[in-house]
Chain A
């Protein structure tokens, strides 16, 4: 009969109270496990959406282009750099792009658009825009374009509509009017594309802007995890030269990267709040049990139990409560996790950081995170019991024996 066994039996002397506090611990832990998975899912969805869209894992520009967006700051002789990128280890796709302002008009309706010249063969490996066609198909020739779904709605155009695209030559200012046909309509999760983009081949836009065969940007898709900043940096390092700058997505949109980092701080704060609430329950349960058994504690002291051992008994009872509640919570949390990873969590088209959550979020199983949170719950419970153990330590046998 050890004190551990004794503590276990004592725990079940008031099964109802133990069940209530145990459930509180279990629900708290299950909530944290759910939250961990959900946050992980949100983050991954966010990062995945961003890196598998216009942004890519990394981008290469002419020096100064990123800060000024001056259209003249182009990458000259892009064939050379694209060739080197394709043979670089870890590069899956390298998509060249050109940007230019334009005016899209049909009948008496017109709107400003961002023209994007791209190359389908590579772009498909980076942004996968073409996978997001809601209607129509890819541009078949120089006189066909794709537009975003919101833009199409605003201008009341559909596949097959003929529109006039006006683009100015960036050097001469001469206006080029091009009659183009809508080949397809895109719905990405990126509002910039959906609301104002007109996508076309590289060469028609190069001609209209008068920039020869220069490009503005190369977006990359890489064979590493999008959250592996060091991996990305290593692959793109050789493309940071006197003329070109290569940056990982984390540096291109630092807000998102920081938000991902903040997630763990939010987790920590939530954990503290949840556990503080539970701690009150644990202290309350153990205190009530101490008061009810005051006479028994007196007897134990009278028999020669040292104050320290009595305190240890209380801590053991707290530890058991923690183990029971946490095991239940771990089980419950994993069940909820696995159910939700089958069904997904619908976010109702919420938008965050320029990403719309159109599709449901699937929670991510984070074994390390779950292990840490569970371990915290199991260790914090006996730690909280210290408060009550201190009281048990001070029990005066004579006074306690008078207790009824």
Chain B
């Protein structure tokens, strides 16, 4: 059997809020195998974002273990976590979060700049991905000159360009209409198939869940159901 891309073992994330304990995640155990196209579903407040942040090495659990690419995140320093995100994890946000002063091309190139990839290779790989997400000809536009759907396509290209093993997308289609959302999912599914990149996206839209090969349902910080899509 192949090594899992990510593994969560009895992960708990508790917040103290005015004396009360909020159990954002309350004992989640999951194994995510390579090339998954997985949805994390559940009502608002069920812990979807919390889960993605933990796998994305952005947050640390109260207890339990998060293992990404064979590394236990708890054993990594802040800088090592940054390197982990840079080299192995692609992030897609609900509100796109492109860097406004950079053009589409520069936004996509940015992570490779951090990695120290050569200028020519940076450009070649970025242009190729921009083409794959269907934005050829918009390389030099700034985010403010793109529609929401187009911005999210740039964000998808940005998340994939460093060839991560894992792409985490927190409600990637929540800010666009359902037609645009469907097209974005098409693109992600295509990339998942072509590059074998694992995708984990959170959603509460039925249409999105239907596209996933696996759906993990959360409720009150616990896994309520884990089914093939």
Contact = CB atoms under 8 A, between A and B. Distances in A.
Contact of A302 (B85, B87, B101, B109): B85
A141 B164 CA distance: 105
A107 to B, nearest CB: 88
Given A1-B102, A10-B101, A307-B78, A302 B56 contact: yes
A194 B56 CA distance: 87
Nearest to A303: B111
A304 B101 contact: no
B99 A307 contact: no
A305 B114 contact: yes
Contacts of B113: 1-2
A13 B143 CA distance: 14
A302 B58 contact: yes
Given A1-B106, A304-B114, A309-B114, A299 B97 contact: yes
A296 B114 contact: no
A13 B99 CA distance: 12
B101 A303 contact: no
Contacts, number: 62
Contacts of A307: 78-79, 82
A282 B79 CA distance: 29
A10 B102 CA distance: 10
B101 A9 contact: yes
A397 interface: yes
A2 B85 CA distance: 20
Given A1-B109, A299-B93, A398-B59, A304 B99 contact: no
Interface in A1-42: 1-2, 6, 9-10, 13
B50 to A, nearest CB: 10
B88 to A, nearest CB: 9
Nearest to A13: B101
Nearest to B159: A303
Nearest to A307: B78
Interface string B77-90: 01100111111010
B99 A296 contact: yes
A380 interface: no
B78 to A, nearest CB: 7
Interface string A133-154: 0000000000000000000000
A306 B58 contact: no
B130 interface: no
A300 interface: yes
A216 interface: no
Nearest to B59: A398
A97 interface: no
Contacts of A401: 58, 93, 97
B53 interface: yes
The bracket for how many chain B residues form the interface is: 20 to 34
B87 A304 contact: yes
Interface string A271-315: 000000000000000000000000110011111111111000000
The bracket for how many chain A residues form the interface is: 20 to 34
A303 B85 contact: yes
Nearest to A302: B91
Contacts of A1: 102, 106, 109-110, 113
B229 interface: no
A398 B58 CA distance: 6
B70 interface: no
Interface centre among A10, A308, A397, A398 (most CB of B within 10 A): A397
A303 B58 contact: no
Interface string B144-156: 0000000000000
Nearest to B101: A9
Nearest to B97: A299
Interface string B100-142: 1110001001110110000000000000000000000000000
B59 A303 contact: no
Interface string A305-342: 11111000000000000000000000000000000000
Nearest to A7: B101
A200 to B, nearest CB: 81
Contacts of B56: 302
Interface centre among A306, A307, A308 (most CB of B within 10 A): A306
A303 B106 contact: no
Interface string B50-68: 0001001011000000000
A361 to B, nearest CB: 48
Contacts of B100: 13, 296
A304 B109 contact: no
Interface in B1-60: 53, 56, 58-59
Nearest to A397: B58
B202 to A, nearest CB: 14
Nearest to B78: A307
A303 B109 contact: no
B82 A306 contact: yes
A303 B53 contact: no
Given A398-B58, A398-B59, A299 B99 contact: yes
Nearest to A404: B95
Given A299-B99, A398-B53, A398-B59, A304 B83 contact: yes
12 contacts: A1-B110, A6-B102, A296-B100, A302-B91, A304-B85, A304-B86, A304-B89, A304-B114, A306-B114, A308-B79, A398-B58, A401-B58
Given A1-B113, A306-B82, A401-B58, 16 more contacts: A1-B110, A13-B100, A295-B97, A296-B97, A299-B93, A302-B56, A302-B85, A303-B86, A303-B110, A303-B114, A304-B82, A305-B82, A305-B86, A307-B78, A398-B53, A398-B58
Interface of A: 1-2, 6, 9-10, 13, 295-296, 299-309, 397-398, 401
The 4 lowest CB-CB distance pairs between A and B, nearest first, are A304-B86, A9-B101, A304-B85, A1-B106
